[in-house]
Structure formats: structure tokens, C-alpha cells
Amino acid sequence: MSKKISTKLIHTGDGQYYKKLNTYKSVPEVLPVYNTSVFAFDDVPSVDAIYDKEAEGYIYTRIRHPNNDAVSSILAAADGAEDGVVFSSGMSAITISILAAVSSGDHIISSPVLYGGVHDYLQNELKRFGVEVIFVDFNRDNIEKYIQPNTKLIYTETICNPLLEVPDICKVSEIAKKHNLLFYIDNTFATAIVARPLELGADVVIYSATKYLSGHSDIVAGAAVGRTDIIEKIRSKLVLYGAILGATDSWLLARSLRTLDLRVKKHSENALKVAEFLEKHPKIEKVFYPGLKSSPDFERAKSQFQNGLYGGMLSVNLKGGEKEASIVIKSMPEIKYVPSLAGTATTVSYAAKTSHRFYNREDLEKCGITFGQLRFSIGLEDADDIIEEIDTALEKI
């Protein structure tokens, strides 16, 4: 008896079509998007074999799926890592990677100038789980002095937000190894094109892939790469907390990564030109950019970064405060006030009012974040046009 229409509509051309495709002599030039929440099996032993790691295969998309694995492997390759995993946001990559490393009663040493959300997590949220965090200035203080018997993790950023300071990654790695601690580093501002902290001894490199890795301001994602044993632990927490990046966004991220090298080189070249121009500008009190020879971070950055590149982020202290910052922001028609970074377009942000809004005054001051400070994410436009627009706006103050 022929099947009824509702049945035909449901089963014709379903996932089983994949078996036919697998016999073809051609494969797609680009990995397609696997928009499926789950996978189908012919029999019970097949599922058992996958769970028991006797066979390869996918089961359920929250656990693993092809697009996530593919993009994770690109990121691991870029950083020279054994393994990697891609999350639904930078924050989930960071919080879950940390949760994989510490338990109640443990202690973390972190630098104080961090992405605002991470600072909040370390300072307030982890306390609720009995994890203690001490904030130490990695460049001015001896972090070894703060290691306790319960210290498990050292955490910092390759280029700290928003003052673009650069820690001595090799030195921190040595200390971590000597005391058998894990060393995690957020490499969002640098990317593997500018810095490869794993090669300098870090254990895990973490990213907000929302920024340069995706690079077009169109998705939110995060990643962690490192040794297989640590990434496996992190992956098991990712599965538990349900923070895997979905198929479509994983595919978009993979597409963006094909041009990461080109993009970050151009971001960096443009940023250096803008930084050199602003350094001589009469309305600017100070420029923060690790690629400037006058920067206190220059030597550290030069010796640890690749190919004379220093990234696309720079901050400035205007001669003035909130009023002047507001005038400059309002006077740039194409450079938009965007509380994020690393897209193709140059944007400006105001740390004291956005990413670091929830720091109290005292912490802001301690970190050197002021109300006359602007942070630029230098885009892929022509450098001369970027400079002219900022220059015209600075003339208004």
C-alpha cells in the first residue's frame, strides 16, 4: 500500500539521503552547515560503540557536532594546540574553562585590568562558590609572592583591556610550571597572528571569538585551545553547562578564519599608523599602544609577538575629561561608538561607561581607566581616512 502524503513529506529526502551522498565521488569544496540537533542510528550497538569510544560518530549536537569540530580544529591549528573547543560566547569559554580548573577552596591569581565581565566573574561570582581570587599587577609586582598552597590557576590577558598592557608570558609560564599551576591567557586582542602564548608556555589560550576571530561583528562566540587532557576536561564542562556554539555560527566563524591572517595584519598596520599620528597630536595627553617605541610594554611585546605586529586596538587619554570624550565621539560620523571591537570598521568605545562600567571608582583609578579615555578598534579602512576623521573630531575640543 502506498504511503499517505503526511508520511511521504516527513521521510522523503531526510537525513538518510546522507548515506547516498557518501557513495559519491565528489565532496563539497566547503564543509556544509549541519543543521541537525541529533543523529540517527541503524541499531543499538552503533550507539553503544560511540559512547564506548569504539567507533567514531556524533550523537547529540549539544555534545559535539561537525561544524563545531571543524572550526575548533582550525583554531587549534592556528595556535599550534593539540585540541580546541568552541563555545557560544567568550564569557562561556572563560567561565567554563575556569570551572574546569578550580573547586571550592581553591585560589586564583589574576591581573587586575581585565575584560569587565571577567573581572566581575572573578571578583564576585566565584566567591559564591568558595573560590578566592587575588588581583596582582603582573608587570609591577612579583606574582610568585602571592602563591598559596591552594592556588590552582594564573589568569591574565595577552594585551590587557583597555590599557593594552602586555605581561611577560614566558616569565608567568615559568612560575606556573615551577609551582604546578595552570596558566590561562585570554588572547582575544592579539589572536594567533600577533601572539602564540602556548609556544611561550601557557596551558590554555582563550578567546572571545566575537572579536577578531569572527571579525565582522555578526556573531557571538568563544574558544579555548590547549593540550588534549585539559581541553577534554573543559569540553566535559561545556557539555554539562550546554554552551556549545551552534552549527550556523560555527560555520560563519570557520569562514571568517580563512582571512584572519590578512585581516589582523592590516588591523595592526593601520593601528600603528594611527598610534604614531595621535602620539604627536596636541589634543592627546597619552597613547596606549604596545607597538609604540615609547610604550613601557614595547620591549616585552616585541620579543613575544610575531612579525612586528601589535594588534588593532589602541587607547588614548584626551587632554580633558567626560565632556571632551563626549564631543569627540559625537564628532566622528563614520567611526561609531560601539561597545565592542574588532570588526571591519573602525569603532570607538568608552571603557569607563561600557566594558568597565561596573568597576567602582577606586578600582577604575587603580587600573588607570579615566573618563577622558577613549579606546579605538582600528578597522580595515584606509589608514589616512581613519586619521583624518579622528583629527577633525579632535579639532572640536
Ligand X SMILES: *Cc1c(COP(=O)(O)O)cnc(C)c1O
- In the complex, the residues that contact ligand X under the rule CB under 6 A are 89-91, 115, 117-118, 157, 161, 186, 188-189, 208, 210-211, 220, 222
Amino acid at 8: K
CB of 213 to ligand X, least distance (A): 10
CB of 195 to ligand X, least distance (A): 13
Determine contact, residues 323/171, Cβ cutoff 8 Å. no
- When CB distances to ligand X are compared, the closest residue is 90
Determine contact, residues 301/295, Cβ cutoff 8 Å. yes
Q: Compute φ and ψ for 312, nearest 5 degrees.
A: -105, 5
CB of 37 to ligand X, least distance (A): 23
Question: Looking at beta carbons only, is 195 or 393 nearer to ligand X?
Answer: 195
DSSP code per residue over 102-171? --TT-EEEE-SS--HHHHHIIIIIGGGGT-EEEE--TTTS-GGGG--TTEEEEEEESS-TTT-----HHH
Q: What angle do CA 21, 24, 25 make, to 5 degrees?
A: 145
Grouping H, G, I as helix, E, B as strand and the rest as coil, residue 205 is strand
Determine contact, residues 240/219, Cβ cutoff 8 Å. no
Question: Looking at beta carbons only, is 159 or 318 nearer to ligand X?
Answer: 159
CB of 115 to ligand X, least distance (A): 3
CB of 311 to ligand X, least distance (A): 11
In three state form, how does the secondary structure of 288-356 look? ECCCCCCCCCHHHHHHHCCCCCCCCEEEEEECCCHHHHHHHHHCCCCCEECCCCCCCCCEEECHHHCCC
Cross-strand pairs, 84: 225
Determine contact, residues 66/58, Cβ cutoff 8 Å. yes
Question: Looking at beta carbons only, is 223 or 309 nearer to ligand X?
Answer: 223
CB of 277 to ligand X, least distance (A): 24
Question: Looking at beta carbons only, is 151 or 208 nearer to ligand X?
Answer: 208
Determine contact, residues 68/224, Cβ cutoff 8 Å. no
Question: Looking at beta carbons only, is 91 or 154 nearer to ligand X?
Answer: 91
| Strand pairing category for 313-318 and 132-135 | unpaired
Burial label, 20 (beta-carbon count in 10 A; 0-12, 13-18, 19+):
exposed
- Write down the residue that cell numbers 566622528 correspond to: 332
Question: Looking at beta carbons only, is 109 or 394 nearer to ligand X?
Answer: 109
CB of 94 to ligand X, least distance (A): 6
CB of 92 to ligand X, least distance (A): 7
Question: What DSSP designation does 71 have?
Answer: H
CB of 123 to ligand X, least distance (A): 15
Grouping H, G, I as helix, E, B as strand and the rest as coil, residue 94 is helix
Question: Looking at beta carbons only, is 85 or 394 nearer to ligand X?
Answer: 85
Question: Looking at beta carbons only, is 283 or 311 nearer to ligand X?
Answer: 311
CA atoms within 13 A on the CB side of 227: 9
Spatial distance between the Cα atoms of 213 and 277, rounded to a whole number of angstroms: 27
Spatial distance between the Cα atoms of 26 and 13, rounded to a whole number of angstroms: 19
Question: Looking at beta carbons only, is 112 or 324 nearer to ligand X?
Answer: 112
Question: Looking at beta carbons only, is 113 or 328 nearer to ligand X?
Answer: 113
CB of 159 to ligand X, least distance (A): 8
